[in-house]
Amino acid sequence: MSAPDPALWPLLPPDFVLSAGRIEILETPTDLAGQIFERLRALLTPEERDRTERLRIPYRRAESIVARGLVRLILGRLLCVDPQLLTFTPGPAGKPACDQCTALQFNLSHTRNRVLLAVTQDAPVGVDIEFIRPDLAAADLANRFFSPAESAAIAAVGPDDRQRAFFACWTRKEALFKATGRGIALGLATFSVPLGSDAPAQWIGLPSPHGEWCLHTLAVSAGYTAALATTDARPLRHTLL
């Protein structure tokens, strides 16, 4: 396995490889310098470029280009394959797998001006990052869609911290949806996740053929919150590009 192109990511650690038993987390803004942005865009297939160009909102278009390009760049380098030749097959709920190496597990999330990618081997992984919107009716949405325990926990949080608590809960649930490969079909209120930020990893009682789920809170850029779900307590390495 080889490291990603140092000319494209000069801040990436020189020892960046996918070590057995570790999860690599890569976070990047989407307002990248023009040359880097265009090189990522050049990695996309013609079909991917067409899909991104149809997005009308500029920041959404940038997110999609950087997200798709980052997946191709990192997976291509790790697998020593031309990034443009990588192919992907979606699962039943749409979660893609890389055809060139099914043991390589990855998941992607993007929100306003941020992209987050998680990569590991031989374990399911799901990741979610969200911009903490101050205008969202957090308590009302929690009452409508979250479990009673989660809704009560969010209501008990002071007004100044309620938005962060809501989005912390949302990202943890979304990460689990994505890790299972079944998506939101699991149902938002069918299980509860812990909201406390003092415990970065929590085991929860959601059935899995791979073992019990482990839930991590990720320390991402200010104004955002993120979570990762997998099925063992393997170490994480978080790189800000």
Which segment, 15-24, 30-39, 117-126, is predicted with the most confidence on average?
A: 117-126
pTM assigned to the model: 0.88
Dist CA 40 CA 25 (whole Å): 18
Distance, CA of 1 to CA of 144 (rounded, Å): 47
* Cβ burial, residue 144 (10 Å; 0-12/13-18/19+): exposed
Among 52-56, 140-144, 183-187, 217-221, which is the least confidently predicted range? 183-187
**Domains within the chain, CATH numbers bracketed:** 23-234 (3.90.470.20)
| Least confidently predicted of 14-18, 102-106, 224-228 | 14-18
C-beta separation of 226 from 218 below 8 A: yes
Give tens-digit pLDDT for 78-92. 888 888 899 999 887
CA 161 → CA 20, 155, 184, 229, distances in Å? 37, 10, 26, 23
